[in-house]
Amino acid sequence: MEQERSTAAAWFRSLRDRIVTAFEGLEDRGKGSASAGCFEVTPTLRDQDGGGGLMSVMRGGCVFEKVGVNWSEVHGTLAPRAQAAMASRGVPGIDGDPRFWASGISLVAHMQNPHAPAVHMNTRMFWTPGAWWFGGGADLNPCIEYADDTAHFHAALRSACDAHDATYYDRFKAWADEYFFIPHRGRARGVGGIFFDDLNTGAWQDDFAFTRAVGEAFLPAFLPLAEARMATPFTDADRDTQLIHRGLYAEYNLVYDRGTKFGLETGHNADAVLMSLPPLAKWV
């Protein structure tokens, strides 16, 4: 499994590099000049055990108000709380040896224009001595919804799923609808997408291929929407709508998001874990 872990980590890193390049290119087009937008890249280290990654953040752009694209490869010992949480959802191989290894990419983009949707995507591999699995997904979070944008985003994810298993899209869309729901508000944080976790069919190559397909689908799913909306005129009322919706995003990520909880509980860099939070938000 060491070779498989190395292969997965390298692919997550390559996906991170391609997305960063694509986002910088979009920022350049938004400003109409070359080299207009660039990410600030900071190496990250875990406070305990080993490993780290790269935190890449671009702030205050013409297109992106704040966007983070993080890659990590970490290892160590699961804290009892994290181990119990995994055991509670039926993850095999958790009891006993608490060692773990994980690698993945995680991104969140908050846009300047209220008409351009915010977006989240991540893919990851997790290993313990008793098991391995993949997880990830993507979801669209428009502050001002356009039905065509929602349809385009979901169609790209459906295509990625259908190429591997005809049941995946419906299963993982329903999972996303449940997962990205804010119980105390009684509503979803956006228009959904797909979400999957603990994916281990017994065929590592097949599961890794599907995880790659989800990652590869992201740019075609999102970039056309961002490019189409980034110059749309907007009003102060549109901006208020955007900031209030960002409050929902902040509430969800701080209270319910599984990745946020795991990252903080396993000692990963707090700034990298909380990169997903919007730069500005508003509550009424």
pLDDT over 70 at 48, yes or no: no
pLDDT over 70 at 267, yes or no: no
Q: What does the pLDDT read at residue 82?
A: 75
The answer to whether residue 266 is domain-embedded is yes
Q: What does the pLDDT read at residue 83?
A: 76
CATH number at residue 195: 3.40.1500.10
The answer to whether residue 282 is domain-embedded is no
The answer to whether residue 118 is domain-embedded is yes
Write down the mean pLDDT value for the chain.
Answer: 91
Residue bearing tokens 């105390």: 184
Q: What does the pLDDT read at residue 263?
A: 72
Q: What does the pLDDT read at residue 46?
A: 74
- Pairing, β 181-182 against β 131-141: unpaired
User: Is the distance from CB of 154 to CB of 137 less than 8 angstroms?
Assistant: no
Mean pLDDT of 175-195: 96
Residue 8: domain span? 2-276
The answer to whether residue 236 is domain-embedded is yes
Number of domains in the chain: 1
The answer to whether residue 284 is domain-embedded is no
Residue 140, beta-bridge partner list: 119, 192
pTM of full prediction above 0.85: yes
The answer to whether residue 199 is domain-embedded is yes
pLDDT over 60 at 35, yes or no: no
Identify which has the larger pLDDT, 270 or 25.
Answer: 25
Output helix, strand, coil percentages for the chain, rounded to the nearest 5. Answer: 45, 25, 30
Exposure on the CB side of residue 14, measured as CA atoms within 13 A: 8
Q: CA distances (Å), 252 to each of 198, 247, 256, in order?
A: 21, 9, 5
Q: Which of 115, 120, 245, 268 is catalytic?
A: 120
DSSP E strands: which ranges in the chain? 40-45, 50-59, 64-77, 99-111, 118-128, 131-141, 181-182, 187-188, 192-199
The answer to whether residue 259 is domain-embedded is yes
- Please state, for a pLDDT cut of 70, what percent of the chain lies above it: 94
In 3-state terms, what secondary structure has residue 162? Answer: helix
268 belongs to the catalytic site: no
Q: How many CB atoms lie within 10 A of CB 271?
A: 13
The answer to whether residue 181 is domain-embedded is yes
